[in-house]
Structure 1
Amino acid sequence: MSAELNPTREKQGPVFGSGLSAGEFAERVRLNQRKLRSDLKLQYDVIVCGSGSSGSVVARRLAENPNVSVLLLEAGGGDDVPSIMDADKWPLNLGSERDWNFQSQPDSRLNGRSIPLNMGKVLGGGSSINLMAWARGHQSDWDFFAKEAADPAWSYASVLQIYRRIEDWHGAPDPKYRGTGGPVFVEPAPTSNPIAPAMLEGARSVGIPTFENQNGRMMEGEGGASIIDVRARAGKRQSVFRSYTFPYMDRPNLTVLTHALVTRLIFEGKRATGVEMFYDGKTHRVGAGLEVVLSLGAIQTPKVLMQSGIGDQDELQRLGIPVVEHLPGVGQNFQDHPGHGCIWEYQEPLPPRNTLPEVTFFWKSFSGRESPDLQTCQGEVPLSSAENAARFGLPVSGWTLFGGVVRPKSRGRIRLTGPHPLDPVQIEANFLSHPDDLKAAIACVELCREIGNSAALRPFARREVMPGNLKGAALERFVRDAAITYWHQTCTAKMGRDAMSVVDGHLNVYGVTNLRVADGSIMPRVTTGNTQAPCVIIGEQAAGIVRTQYRL
């Protein structure tokens, strides 16, 4: 693993409170981790599986106690590559070795299409390959979580205080909603492309109010439009791994292993005692003195649970996997935000800035809703499904209104195809399988067209490329052909109290001990908007619960 920080940090002098320059600290990390990897222990206090937006937080918070030994396992490799560090190069990661390259099953409701479902396979997980948007979720999301868990610690009022504590907000001061001095650098996209304020004006022209930023009060009501809050600084990505974990990697109690694929959990009866992993060419078993935390994401977390004997007993027995605990909800309730690209050709080409999208709006598919069920990001490049790109053609220079359904009613599932760790999973995404989602998607495309063709954006548009003025069956075909992932795969090990719940309000896996899940899979429903920020909250909650339980 290379451990250099990006060079822009060098100019800022001492970092991480160590008194060292970024380069000096990176070298200290490299030497420390080399030593820790060469002398792996048979047991650690806590094993955290997955270094994404939740796992990185859990590992850091537990490693803050020097008496707690933490092993953080990541199936992918290091993150010190330009496509990760340079904020505007994120599309280069899609389909690369830093991507799990999952694919959904072909689906007749998408005209027989299979959807690529990109997920980060690298230090930082999704936070190292995503668009870097910081969207906290709507007030109603968190209050729904609290209701499902019967725990007010998940309520919006409680979570808002965590957000304020962890943020380092670099926008206009907003002390009621925003915090400063925390590990999470956030700012509104700076020095935006001229098309960004034009889109805000276009949103206002159709009755969508604009706000000072996309979080805070905007996400307590019916929605609005704003410049995007981003996790990038001076053109460099600020992944959750770099913000949380990396500053503690010079310590003797935090070991970070890359290219370490977690294959199974180890149980003694109903008690999780460690993990099995494939590392350095062979299978290893490592013990966990306190517990194992699964933070592998909404596809790998249920896969490992099922391979370890936790899932629907009929499915497990069909594959010859011994049943440890019958939990039929494992792998069920899969949710994502389907997105649809509406594209215009530029009147005069403008180079994209920041992370490529700079403006977002959240709004309602029909006027009777109390909270938004649609989200659109304005992309400063063309973004389309392969099918619609082939049908309509893509301009050399263009921009996109990428409209998403963020309160989907459709539910998919993750299934094993075999008992072995390298057997692929079968992903039934089931986009647009609920008729209300199709209606919402059509409403979103129509709203994007209304804004995209508004007077405010006319100076930036030579022509509308897609969809054009389609109606009825032709518009429905466009929507089914357009649907691709917003990269917000979640909900496959949901928190709750019904028979299909997998974890309780403290994120303990039902029916077993010493095993917790902390990632987007625990969401009872997908949050309204990009999911990085809620996954950080899930990590903070999990770490706080573990520290309290074991008095760490």
Structure 2
Amino acid sequence: MFETENASPAVKLALLEERLLSAALSPDDFLTEAAEAGVPRAEALDAAARFLAIAANQSRLRQTLKSSYDYIVIGSGASGSVVASRLAQRTDAQVLLLESGGSDLQPGVLIPETWFYNQTGPFDWNLAGEPAVSVNNRQVVQAAGRVLGGSTSINGMVWARGHRNDFEDWAQLSGDAEWGYDHVLDIYRRIEDWRGTPDPARRGRGGEVFVQPAPDPHPIAPAFLKAAEALGIPTFADQNGVMQEGGGGGAITNVRIRDGMRLNTTASYLYPVMDRPNLTVLTDAHVVRLVMRGKGAAGVEFDWQGERRRIDASSETIVCAGALQTPKILMLSGIGDRKDLQRFGIDSTADLPGVGRNLMDHPIIGAGLWEAHEPIPPRNNAAEANLFAKSVPDLPTPDLHLWLIEVPYLSEVTGRHAVPNSWSISPGLARPESRGSLRLKSADPRDAPEINANMLSHPRDLAALRAAMKLARDIGNSEEMKPFVKREILPGPLDDEALDNLIRDGAMSMHHPVGTARMGQDDMSVVDAQLRVHGVGKLRVADGSIMPLISTGNTQAPCVIIGERMAEILTR
């Protein structure tokens, strides 16, 4: 499944770095094998020096664990890696980062084209929603990374900043202008290393986050954009520039891929600082609960190396475990709806009924399939072009997100239609109206939470997806796509009832759950604009769970912004 023989030199070097970190390879053998992999000697020497320093430092820090740190960060994903890195760089504070998963320097993580195999794989929490009538009584898989780098290690590597209106809404709902578009744009410019068409007003160069348009895309990707343009949808050189300030459009996908290798937040934020004496990173450390003292968080209880451990945080604990794990940790710690917690004998510390509520996700419909005349080998992340559009013209923000995917992208139901040499146009919903919830199943921290996503439960979502399916057909069957089409397989000319049924059968998650500890000022909010948990001292949340409304597009980039905002707040 993950062939490394033909992997890029960058991937082969990263795999050698993992063996160096684990002491499975001597420095001399590292240099020899790096040369055999085609890595220039100067680059190999630099990598050896960096990773030997990381290995020595982290080994020492793990052998001399402290009973208390200034900051404890839970989760190493899109937000947690940022928070831990910035705290270590900007302060002399002692920082402990806890990650439930293991190393990210693995073929399945590093090789871009096979990212979808990570879903339900060894780097995934392997969660699924409860059966729901709105998706024809199916259980929709909810992929979430359980590995260093979190979901940035298993996702599709798309860098989608979100629409201007997303952040204006966040600012209004939080009561803090610094969550607004102008300030967020400043952060994006500061952190990005953009390698596409220059746009100094909107894109940055020289930051930690390398981003580029999918390089050398398959010809089907620009054909998809030409077809969209023929239908009146504008196309742009950059999906994250002016396009995200207007009414929609299409572009070659911005990806976090360099030299044929995935770039996760670990690569950009953690490895550059893991040789610092004030940052301890523990992998395979499973958080059980927060330790509460009165109305404040005193520390964290977790399992590591076969032992139950407790470590205190003298300044703050920051939960960055993601929208499916963060509310679970809070509830196990007595923070949530008091009545729900009483069912499992959990003493209430803070009665916050919004914990686990307001679950939002982007549905994507695996029901657009065409057969090609010949194979279409996937390149980059196999999703090299995408577009945003409106299901009805008077919407202030595009609500549809359509993807050209160079492989059959189907649900477990529609997958029976897959044939060789087939590819997909998969319509998604960027601004769903449906809301779900997450609850505990028991007081056992090893039990998965109960996820009621309620996907497609709001009638407006289904109506919008009907429009998206029509648009997918119009593009797939267009003159511009004819060189790549032998026949249309799905959806075909279905009537409304049959189309609705196909949408429900094909509905999948884009794996962008957010909102379960939302930021706000009302009784159902969980954190304030400074990301402090209401009514609980020394505890903050910084991940996708704090989004009051889901961002328009993939959520990786906005979650990095959440991490950067948390770091700004803590290090002022």
Q: Same fold (TM over 0.5)?
A: yes
Report the alpha carbon displacement of residue 138 of structure 1 after superposing the two structures with TM. Answer: 0.4
Tell me which amino acid in the other structure corresponds to 1:316. Answer: L
- Relative distance call for 1:13 and 1:173 in structure 2 (3 A) is farther
2:347 corresponds to 1:347: no
Greater displacement, 282-291 / 341-350: 341-350
Match of 2:18 in 1: 2
Greater displacement, 506-515 / 349-358: 349-358
2:471 corresponds to 1:436: no
Match of 2:266 in 1: 241
Report the alpha carbon displacement of residue 86 of structure 1 after superposing the two structures with TM. Answer: 1.4
Question: Is the 1:373–1:405 contact (alpha carbons within 8 Å) kept by the matching residues of 2?
Answer: yes
2:408 corresponds to 1:382: yes
Q: Aligned ranges for residues 65-104 of structure 1 at < 5 Å?
A: 65=90, 67-104=92-129
Report the alpha carbon displacement of residue 247 of structure 1 after superposing the two structures with TM. Answer: 0.7
- Separation in 1, partners of 2:447, 2:347: 17
- Separation in 2, partners of 1:13, 1:409: 53
Report the alpha carbon displacement of residue 144 of structure 1 after superposing the two structures with TM. Answer: 0.2
- Separation in 2, partners of 1:482, 1:54: 30
What is the aligned counterpart of 1:454 among 478, 501, 511? 478
Please report the TM-score for the alignment, with normalisation by the length of structure 2: 0.93
Question: Is the 1:135–1:533 contact (alpha carbons within 8 Å) kept by the matching residues of 2?
Answer: yes
Q: Aligned ranges for residues 105-254 of structure 1 at < 5 Å?
A: 105-254=130-279
Q: Which segments of 5 or more consecutive residues in structure 2 lack a partner in the other structure?
A: 1-16, 22-29
2:383 corresponds to 1:357: yes
Greater displacement, 150-159 / 342-351: 342-351
Q: Aligned ranges for residues 535-550 of structure 1 at < 5 Å?
A: 535-548=559-572
Paired positions, count: 542
Match of 1:512 in 2: 536
Question: Is the 2:127–2:448 contact (alpha carbons within 8 Å) kept by the matching residues of 1?
Answer: no
Question: Is the 1:132–1:232 contact (alpha carbons within 8 Å) kept by the matching residues of 2?
Answer: yes
Report the alpha carbon displacement of residue 370 of structure 1 after superposing the two structures with TM. Answer: 2.3
Report the alpha carbon displacement of residue 24 of structure 1 after superposing the two structures with TM. Answer: 2.3
2:319 corresponds to 1:294: yes
- Separation in 1, partners of 2:69, 2:320: 17
2:79 corresponds to 1:54: yes
Give the secondary-structure state (helix, strand or coil) at the position aligned to 1:52: coil
Give the secondary-structure state (helix, strand or coil) at the position aligned to 2:70: strand
Report the alpha carbon displacement of residue 350 of structure 1 after superposing the two structures with TM. Answer: 2.0
Question: Is the 1:82–1:89 contact (alpha carbons within 8 Å) kept by the matching residues of 2?
Answer: no
Give the secondary-structure state (helix, strand or coil) at the position aligned to 2:438: strand
- Separation in 2, partners of 1:12, 1:525: 48
- Separation in 1, partners of 2:322, 2:39: 33
- Separation in 2, partners of 1:201, 1:52: 36
Tell me which amino acid in the other structure corresponds to 1:540. Answer: E
Question: Is the 2:378–2:406 contact (alpha carbons within 8 Å) kept by the matching residues of 1?
Answer: yes
Report the alpha carbon displacement of residue 12 of structure 1 after superposing the two structures with TM. Answer: 8.4
Runs of 4+ in 1 over 4 A off after TM superposition: 3-10
- Separation in 1, partners of 2:523, 2:69: 33
- Separation in 2, partners of 1:95, 1:68: 37
Question: Is the 1:73–1:258 contact (alpha carbons within 8 Å) kept by the matching residues of 2?
Answer: yes
- Separation in 1, partners of 2:209, 2:42: 19
Match of 1:422 in 2: 446
Match of 1:258 in 2: 283
Deviations 1:259-308 (A, max 9, x none): 00111001110111100001111210001010000000001000000000
Give the secondary-structure state (helix, strand or coil) at the position aligned to 1:264: strand
Tell me which amino acid in the other structure corresponds to 1:11. Answer: P
Question: Is the 2:317–2:540 contact (alpha carbons within 8 Å) kept by the matching residues of 1?
Answer: yes
Match of 2:66 in 1: 41
Match of 2:3 in 1: none
Question: Is the 2:91–2:571 contact (alpha carbons within 8 Å) kept by the matching residues of 1?
Answer: no
Give the secondary-structure state (helix, strand or coil) at the position aligned to 1:209: coil
Give the secondary-structure state (helix, strand or coil) at the position aligned to 2:492: coil
- Relative distance call for 1:12 and 1:352 in structure 2 (3 A) is farther
Tell me which amino acid in the other structure corresponds to 2:186. Answer: Q
Question: Is the 1:346–1:460 contact (alpha carbons within 8 Å) kept by the matching residues of 2?
Answer: yes
- Relative distance call for 1:10 and 1:263 in structure 2 (3 A) is farther
- Separation in 1, partners of 2:41, 2:181: 36
- Separation in 2, partners of 1:235, 1:222: 33
- Separation in 1, partners of 2:498, 2:516: 33
Deviations 1:182-203 (A, max 9, x none): 0000000011101011001010
- Separation in 1, partners of 2:382, 2:74: 31
2:546 corresponds to 1:522: yes
2:519 corresponds to 1:490: no
Question: Is the 2:299–2:317 contact (alpha carbons within 8 Å) kept by the matching residues of 1?
Answer: yes
Deviations 1:412-441 (A, max 9, x none): 000001112112210001000000001111
- Separation in 2, partners of 1:12, 1:272: 49
What is the aligned counterpart of 1:11 among 40, 60, 73? 40
- Separation in 1, partners of 2:72, 2:491: 49
- Relative distance call for 1:44 and 1:9 in structure 2 (3 A) is farther
Report the alpha carbon displacement of residue 38 of structure 1 after superposing the two structures with TM. Answer: 1.2
Tell me which amino acid in the other structure corresponds to 1:152. Answer: A
- Separation in 2, partners of 1:11, 1:334: 47
Tell me which amino acid in the other structure corresponds to 1:487. Answer: H
Give the secondary-structure state (helix, strand or coil) at the position aligned to 2:215: coil
Give the secondary-structure state (helix, strand or coil) at the position aligned to 2:134: helix
2:491 corresponds to 1:467: yes
- Separation in 2, partners of 1:157, 1:126: 27
- Separation in 2, partners of 1:9, 1:48: 38
Match of 1:369 in 2: 395
- Separation in 1, partners of 2:277, 2:129: 41
- Separation in 2, partners of 1:41, 1:9: 42
Please report the TM-score for the alignment, with normalisation by the length of structure 1: 0.96
- Separation in 1, partners of 2:81, 2:172: 27
Give the secondary-structure state (helix, strand or coil) at the position aligned to 2:325: helix
- Separation in 1, partners of 2:71, 2:19: 23
Question: Is the 1:374–1:404 contact (alpha carbons within 8 Å) kept by the matching residues of 2?
Answer: yes
- Separation in 2, partners of 1:360, 1:4: 39
- Relative distance call for 1:123 and 1:278 in structure 2 (3 A) is same
Deviations 1:477-504 (A, max 9, x none): 0001010001111110000001100000
What is the aligned counterpart of 2:346 among 315, 321, 340? 321
- Separation in 1, partners of 2:202, 2:486: 40
Question: Is the 1:3–1:29 contact (alpha carbons within 8 Å) kept by the matching residues of 2?
Answer: no
- Separation in 2, partners of 1:508, 1:217: 33
**Identity rate of aligned residues, in percent?**
49
2:384 corresponds to 1:334: no
Greater displacement, 347-356 / 75-84: 347-356
- Relative distance call for 1:308 and 1:227 in structure 2 (3 A) is same
Question: Is the 1:335–1:408 contact (alpha carbons within 8 Å) kept by the matching residues of 2?
Answer: yes
Report the alpha carbon displacement of residue 90 of structure 1 after superposing the two structures with TM. Answer: 1.1
